Chains A and B, each alone.
Chain A
Amino acid sequence: MKLGLTFPLPKELIREFAAKVDKLFVIEELDPFMEEQILAMGIAVEGKNKLPVIGELDLNIVREALLGDSPDDMKFSVKEPIPARPPSLCPGCSHRGVFYALKKLKLTVTGDIGCYTLGALPPLEAMDTCLCMGASVGFSEGMEKTEGEELQGKVVGVIGDSTFFHSGITGLIDIFYNQSNAKLIILDNQITAMTGHQEHPGSGLNLRREPTNRVDIEKLVRAIGIERIVKINPYDLKETIDTIKEEMQVDGPSVMIADAPCVIRERKVFTKPYYVIADKCTKCGMCDKVGCSAIEKDEDGKTKINPLLCIGCDICRQVCRFDAIIRPADN
């Protein structure tokens, strides 16, 4: 039997069904929610002694668990090896420059939920915590308040604009109210990017993409009482690194706003695709550290740039020490 109403359970239906069968199994994903309640009804039932309590179920998992076999014709497999495609920030993403800077500065970064959580993954690896929506703010304050020397002036929270509206504001009020020195970077790409570009209170459009009132993040932060608010252009690595470094030294809280719209949302193309002068490339690997999927290797292991992916954000050119990466002249 298949149940549509799962709370409260239709106990009489279950009793009638159980009386008709020799053995009763409960097949449910995740926790033994129905199983425990049916056991509590005094009905012998099996389920999670055989089936996993994590992950999804499919035909093969259930068949193997309950019947101990799984015919080959039920296995869906692909013979050809499929290349791994790890998640990464999009080519030209405005978050890349900030995470490159945070890694360079060796800061402890409390992160949050959004596209920018990808900053935790190699090669950027510039996010140390990710708990729940808004936790970057409270975490940075709590860590800073431990007053351990290794954390002083070295902890910074990173939160997106939509997540800031969702549950970052109260944390920032706490930073101000409880006289914390915590530092916060708001990655303001002006949209809820992760879930597919939904509007939010700071985007100026409503759900139907009609014009509406817009909450100004900078004014909101200022209204809380935070006095140090600086804007960052995340496409200028030197400026980004210098600004974060300077703000980390100040006494009292600081909010840095990396102000750059989502390039996918805007369908933004900065320039024609960049290219590499192979003779100048020493295969040093610096450009790999920005974690851009437009950066590829030729047969000799030298960098080449995929012209279909590159939108000319300039980050890779700024890290190349040998001037091998070229911005197209005819823009």
Chain B
Amino acid sequence: MSRAVLSGNEAIARGFYEAGGKFAAAYPGTPSTEILENIGKYQEIKAQWSPNEKVALEVAAGASLGGVRALAAMKHVGLNVAADPLFSLSYMGVNGGLVIISADDPAMHSSQNEQDNRWYAKAAKIPMLEPSDSQEAKDFTVLALELSEKFDTPVLLRTTTRINHSKSIVELKRFSPMLRS
């Protein structure tokens, strides 16, 4: 088993890869941007920029309905744009696991406001995981996909700027084909 020093964003990308993720979409926004940039390095995954977060979530949800593990990443205010599909996806459920990354920005290092997106999990009634370092960022991405499939719901992975951009040691595993529950 090898180890690497990864940022939270790199670790999320790695987790998605190790979990056999197949489709990821995002609109760039600090501190979330590097998630899709890093997912794009794995040729096994279809990775694309969408014109906005609503579209990104919709195409990721469509990929999930199509049966593959999918991810949509955005900054906190991006989830406002994607809130419309989010709330009804909570009813609709998933086929392949669907993880939605909300990268919050306490202290507004690169944002116009400081909203706390944990409320979205409660309001939309979807489970939420919050990693506290890069190892957890990777592990929780995998766990989010498993929970998503087990409970037939999208799962919110909520991070903050410090988690997205700080680097810490992560244990790497091999790419595994998607396991369906």
Contacts and interface: CB of A to CB of B under 8 A. Distances in A.
Nearest to A197: B28
Contact of B49 (A31, A196, A207): A207
B52 A133 contact: yes
B160 A29 contact: yes
Interface stretch (B57-65, B117-125, B164-172): B117-125
Residue of A31, A56, A201, A206 contacting most chain B CB atoms (<10 Å): A56
A297 B72 CA distance: 48
B112 A132 contact: yes
Contacts of A4: 129-132, 136, 140
B49 A199 contact: yes
Contact of B112 (A7, A130, A192, A196): A130
Contacts of A96: none
Residue of A3, A33, A131, A206 contacting most chain B CB atoms (<10 Å): A33
A198 B81 contact: no
Interface string B78-117: 0011000000000000000000000010110000101010
A243 to B, nearest CB: 28
Nearest to B121: A7
A96 B126 CA distance: 45
Contacts of A206: 48-49
A8 B122 CA distance: 8
B33 A7 contact: no
A195 B119 contact: no
Nearest to A5: B129
Query: Chain A contact residues: over half helix, strand or loop, or mixed?
Result: loop
A208 interface: yes
B33 A113 contact: no
A6 B158 contact: yes
B87 to A, nearest CB: 15
Given A4-B131, A166-B27, A55 B49 contact: no
B47 A6 contact: no
A293 interface: no
B66 interface: no
Contacts of A95: none
Contacts of A29: 106, 116, 160
Nearest to B126: A7
B36 interface: yes
Interface in A150-186: 162, 165-167
Interface string A20-36: 00000000011101000
B140 A7 contact: no
Counting from the closest, the 9 A-B pairs by CB-CB distance are: A30-B116, A7-B121, A195-B28, A7-B128, A198-B28, A31-B116, A166-B52, A56-B107, A33-B118
Interface of B: 27-30, 33, 36-37, 40, 47-49, 51-52, 77, 80-81, 104, 106-107, 112, 114, 116, 118-119, 121-122, 126-132, 136, 140, 156, 158, 160, 162
Given A192-B28, A206-B49, 10 more contacts: A4-B129, A6-B128, A6-B130, A30-B106, A33-B116, A56-B106, A56-B160, A195-B30, A198-B33, A207-B48
12 contacts: A4-B132, A5-B127, A5-B129, A30-B106, A33-B118, A162-B28, A165-B51, A165-B52, A195-B29, A196-B33, A207-B37, A208-B47
